[in-house]
Amino acid sequence: MTFTSVEIIALILIIVAIIKMLVLVVKPMTWMKFTRWIYKKPSVTKFIGAILAGITLYYLINMGITIVQILAISAFIALLFVIGLAEDVGPFIKKYEAQIRAGKLWKKHWFYTLLWLILLAWGVKELFF
């Protein structure tokens, strides 16, 4: 059986999600140690994440999925995150409020914000122009 790039991306997600859930059921602290290791160097994690996001976006676009469809799917995923994080978002809010008071919010998150602005502008362009 030959998979398309989109199917391969979905398969990778399925495999990683199943492994994560199994490890969390059997040895949850093992997953937490792995997570700490992944995020030990945030700049490296962000760089690798950006590269993987770019590769994924490239393959999605080349499979004929539009940026508008990707943004709509992003809305669905964001709402799933709302369900999962609703009870635990308090520390994040405190952290970001402290960054705002210190005038560091945009300095710390400029690249992430820039990526979203590019994707949103691309979506607006596709919808209205």
| Mean pLDDT of the chain, nearest integer | 95
Identify the pLDDT of residue 111.
Answer: 93
What are the angstrom distances between the C-alpha of 94 and each of 90, 99, 129? 6, 9, 40
Identify the pLDDT of residue 53.
Answer: 96
* Residue 106 CB partners (closer than 8 Å, separation 6+): 113
Please state, for a pLDDT cut of 90, what percent of the chain lies above it.
99
Q: What is the pTM of this model?
A: 0.86
Judge contact between 12 and 19, C-beta under 8 A.
Answer: no
Judge contact between 92 and 105, C-beta under 8 A.
Answer: no
Residue-wise pLDDT for 99-109, tens only, equals 999 999 999 99
Q: What span, in angstroms and rounded, lies between the C-alpha atoms of 112 and 45? A: 13
Identify the pLDDT of residue 1.
Answer: 83
Find the length of the chain: 129
Question: Taking the domains of the chain in order of start, what are their residue ranges?
Answer: 1-65
